[in-house]
């Protein structure tokens, strides 16, 4: 069996690859894993270092919008797991062209290549942000899409293109929509690694607005486990929400991170709220739980403690990234 993992040097993609190579997913026990990654600012070959010597891993540096490159790597592939995306909301607000190019055109390029090559399964990894914001309750997979940022709009567009390749061409596509991920190897522009690394360095951390925006937190290992369940048994043409089951306001999350590092609220700087900042996300995971037996396995307390410990122990990984990206506080 051969698996193509796009964005496999990024945060979530590299976790999936490390798990696949290490034997965590029985269906991939002997699979060849091909990683296609452009190695933009958030892609890092160091994320694959623990499995880099495996004869089952092949790395290809390339852009998912490059039809020639994509056509080459998809040959002989049984499963595509498509993680590659521009994913940072703040960056999409400053400039959305790269998000449309990568997330929309890149996804279409991959889908067409998979169709031409006769790929057996295509899992398109998306986000709960495509639904917009919800005051109460949780989104089911058939909820209307109301994205509010250029990032989430580009992902909603890619979801619809993926669905169209199933409806029009019969390509066996599944779409997954996850809540906020956290864990080791996450690029330090995202809230948890940014806060942890700033606090470890004696810097302040920014808290948007009143701090009452709510997010559901999902450990990256649970997310990848859910993705593999969909790859193994998800029904073609279907969408599956993947959530972690821990909803926190940004203020509550900040309190936990301050406590984990052993500092107080004097290290928090209030900043103006993000443009179009969604108030609350919450996904209903009944479908994936009922059909595929999914349940989050990593408690948030355990997962957060392990994550903070990982960043404390791995300065050599994140310090160069923060210097290059100028991700520093005051």
Place of tokens 């997913």: 25
Asked whether 175 and 124 are in contact (CB, 8 A), the reply is yes
Number of H helices, E strands in the chain: 12, 12
The residue among 197, 276, 284 whose CA lies nearest residue 247 is 284
How far is CA 181 from its chain centroid? Answer: 6
- Annotated catalytic residue, options 86, 129, 222, 278: 129
Query: How is 117-150 classified by DSSP, letter by letter?
Result: HT-SEEEEEEEGGGG---SSS-B-TTSPP---SH
**Is 291 annotated in the active site?**
no
Beta bridge partners of 59: 35
CA dist 19 and 330 (Å) reads 37
**Is 129 annotated in the active site?**
yes
- Annotated catalytic residue, options 151, 185, 281, 294: 151
Query: How is 49-67 classified by DSSP, letter by letter?
Result: GGGTT-TTEEEEE--TT-H
The residue among 311, 213, 246, 294 whose CA lies nearest residue 11 is 311
- Give, rounded to a whole angstrom, the gap between the first and last alpha carbons of the chain: 50
Cα→Cα distances 68→58, 62, 71, 82, 206, Å? 18, 10, 5, 17, 43
CA dihedral 200, 205, 210, 212 (to 10 degrees): -40
- Annotated catalytic residue, options 63, 86, 128, 159: 128
Cα→Cα distances 196→46, 208, 220, 244, Å? 20, 16, 17, 20
The residue among 299, 100, 91 whose CA lies nearest residue 190 is 91
**Is 128 annotated in the active site?**
yes
CA neighbours closer than 13 Å in the CB half-sphere of residue 125: 30
Question: What residues act catalytically?
Answer: 128-129, 151
């Amino acid at each position: 069996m051969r698996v193509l993992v796009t964005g496999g040097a990024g945060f979530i993609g590299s976790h999936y690859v490390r798990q696949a190579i290490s034997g965590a997913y029985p269906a991939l026990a002997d699979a060849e894993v091909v990683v296609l990654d452009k190695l933009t600012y958030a892609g890092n070959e160091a994320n694959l270092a623990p499995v880099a010597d495996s004869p089952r891993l092949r790395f290809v540096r390339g852009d998912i919008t490059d039809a020639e490159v994509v056509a080459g790597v998809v040959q002989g592939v049984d499963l595509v797991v498509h993680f590659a995306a521009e994913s940072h909301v703040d960056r999409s607000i400053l400039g959305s062209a790269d998000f449309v190019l990568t997330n929309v055109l890149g996804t279409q390029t991959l889908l067409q290549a998979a169709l031409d090559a006769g790929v057996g399964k295509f899992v398109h990894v998306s986000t709960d942000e495509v639904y917009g914001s919800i005051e109460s309750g949780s989104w089911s997979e058939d909820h209307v899409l109301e994205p509010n940022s250029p990032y989430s709009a580009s992902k909603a567009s890619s979801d619809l293109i993926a669905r169209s390749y199933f409806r029009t061409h019969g390509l066996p596509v599944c779409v997954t929509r996850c809540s906020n991920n956290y864990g080791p190897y996450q690029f330090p522009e995202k809230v948890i690694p940014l806060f942890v690394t700033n606090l470890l360095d004696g810097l302040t951390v920014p808290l948007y607005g009143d701090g009452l925006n709510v997010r559901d937190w999902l450990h990256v290992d649970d997310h990848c486990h859910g993705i593999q369940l969909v790859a193994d048994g998800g029904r073609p043409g279907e969408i599956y929400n993947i959530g972690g089951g821990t909803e926190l306001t940004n203020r509550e999350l900040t309190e936990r991170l301050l406590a984990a590092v052993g500092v107080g609220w004097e290290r928090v700087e209030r900043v103006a709220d993000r443009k179009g900042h969604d108030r609350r996300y919450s996904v209903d995971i009944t479908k994936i739980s009922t059909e595929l037996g999914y349940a989050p396995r990593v408690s948030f307390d355990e997962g957060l403690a392990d994550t903070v410990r990982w960043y404390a122990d791995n300065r050599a990984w994140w310090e160069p990234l923060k210097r290059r990206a100028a991700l520093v506080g005051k």
